[in-house]
Each structure stands twice: as C-alpha cells, then as structure tokens.
Structure 1
Amino acid sequence: MHNKSFPRTFSHIGISVPDLAAAVTFYTEVMGWYEIMAPATVTEDDSAIGVMCNDVFGPGWGSFKIAHLATGDKIGIELFEFPNAENPADNFEFWKTGVFHFSVQDPDVEGLVEKILAAGGKQRMPIRYYYPGEKPYRMVYMEDPFGNIVEIYSHSYELTYSSGAY
C-alpha cells in the first residue's frame, strides 16, 4: 500500500534586512502585509527564545532585531536585522544552493512594480507573459529596497504552470 503524505502548507519565511524599521514600513505599506508583532530585540540569554537562538545561531550571536508580519493568505514573514548585516551590491546569486527569491501574487503587476520602484526597489527585467496572446499570466523579477529578490505573479502558481509553461 502506498503511504503518500499530504502536501505541507507554508508557514513563514525569514528575511534578513539591514534596517528593520524601514523594512517594516516597506512591507506593510507597499506589500500590504500586516504587522502582527512589533519590532523587538532578542538578546543572547537563558530565556526560551534565547536558548532557541543559541541552537540556531550557535554561541556568541549577541542580539538581533526582529518583527513579525503576515500576508493576506496567512503566511508569516519574519524580518531580521542583525548587527553585522552585510548588504551585497548584487544579492542575486541564483547559481548557489539556497533560496534566491520569493514570490507574491498581485493581479495588478504593473501597479505593484510602480509602488516598489517608488519605495526605492529595483526592476530586474521587463514584465513578461507566460502565454503571449493566449492568457494574461504575467511575471516580473524585482528587488525590495534592501536587495532581496521578489518575483511577482499575476495569477496563482497552479494556474500559471498547469498548462505547462515550457
């Protein structure tokens, strides 16, 4: 008997930023996400969260700032500001193992592009159609003002790929 498990749901993503206050403003005002836990400082100590962070970061991490946001579909966003944050000139090393972008869905791709640009983000490519002349499914790669790569889809992931985009 085949014992296939069901697909897991997505819980949250952690994003490092060089300026937590500016990131909270950008992600709440431009992306429309909700602040569910105001910015706080976590310090290396023997509290429950301090011990968890010791497990994750190892000893000597010191402290960091964190805020918790949520998307309209209840996905959590943890924003981290570490004291020794490095902001690379180009954060798009897609050939390296690891997450190199996250994606949001907005039927008004063009409008969200303009909002991101107005907030100091960058557009990495023109808006493109997956099925030109056939379906209105569009996408574009952007950067938030902190260099994190954000892809925008006009339609759901399932709709976009169910016809076989390539």
Structure 2
Amino acid sequence: MTARFDHVGISVPDLEAAVTWYREALHLTEEHAFAVPGTDLRGVMLRHVGGHRIELLHRPDAAPGPVADGPLAAAGILGYGHLCLAFDTADEVDTEFARLVAAGAGVRMSPRAAPRPGARMAFVSDPYGNLIELIDRAA
C-alpha cells in the first residue's frame, strides 16, 4: 500500500474571506466547494499548482480553540500545530515571508537559521491565527 499526504483541513470563522485570503496569499485555486447534507458544514478545497491542498471548513457556531502566538507555544498545545511550505532557497523564504506579511499575514517568527544546519525558516499566521511555516528544504 502506498499512501501520500493529500491535504490539511482548517476550520475558519468566515469561509468566503478565508477563501479569498488563501487564494491570493498562497496562490491557490478553488477545486470545489461543498456542503455536507443534513449538517451546517460547508467547505472549499483549494489546490496549489504544486499539488498540495488546503481544505477550508466552516460551521456557523464553531467555537474558537487555543491560538498559539508562535511555534514554541503551538508545540505546547496538543493537536494541529502548523502547515509548512518548503522553498528551494533561503532567499525565497525571506521573499515569501515579506510577501505574506504584506498580504495580511501575522508575523510569528521572522526569517532566521533553522535548527537543521544550513536551512532558513520563518513563521507567519493567517488572519485567524493558524500558523504557516516557511522553510528552505534545499540545504
């Protein structure tokens, strides 16, 4: 059996606004929108040309959970911590960090050396506090 990672699902308070932000900020296109019959759950599957997907989910009465202010705090909360986007060079990490911040992402960790020798990393958050890591995987 061969398995591969398909997508990450993120619950958001405003589906339309989240779709707009993720499409523009992460260069995603809408694959399909859906509603689960008999429930109040709606969602939109977004896809990047590179193949990864992000599924945005919305329930009107969803309760907010803990929101970490950075990667260290996220590691102290059991469950989902962050999604990570890999880049070919350290310069791309810096450029993408600046572009995402200009697009409204929150600064959670400015670009710096990663724990892995020779790599560079940064963290931002989407408008709802969900963490997005940027890392140079070429090192």
The aligned runs of 1:23-42 (5 Å cut-off) are 23-37=18-32, 39-42=33-36
Match of 1:98 in 2: 79
- Alpha-carbon distance between aligned partners in 2 of 1:25 and 1:111, rounded to the nearest angstrom: 21
- Structure label with greater radius of gyration: 1
Unmatched 5+ stretches in structure 2 = none
Amino acid at match of 2:97: V
> Which protein has the bigger strand share?
2
Paired position in structure 2 for 1:109: 93
Give the Cα–Cα distance (whole angstroms) in 2 for the partners of residues 142 and 86 of structure 1. Answer: 23
Q: CA deviation at 1:144?
A: 0.7
Normalising by structure 2, report the TM-score.
0.79
Distance in 2 separating the partners of 1:84 and 1:41: 15
Q: Percent same amino acid at aligned positions?
A: 30
Gaps of 5+ in 1: 45-61, 161-166
In the alignment, the residues of structure 1 paired with residue 114 and residue 77 of structure 2 have an alpha-carbon distance, to the nearest angstrom, of 25
Amino acid at match of 1:74: G
Structure 1 vs Structure 2 CA RMSD: 2.5
Distance 1:96 1:67, change over 3 A: same
Number of aligned residue pairs: 132
Alpha-carbon spacing, 1:131–1:18, altered in 2? closer, same or farther (3 Å): closer
- Greater CA deviation, 120-129 or 85-94? 85-94
| TM-score, length of structure 1 as denominator length | 0.67
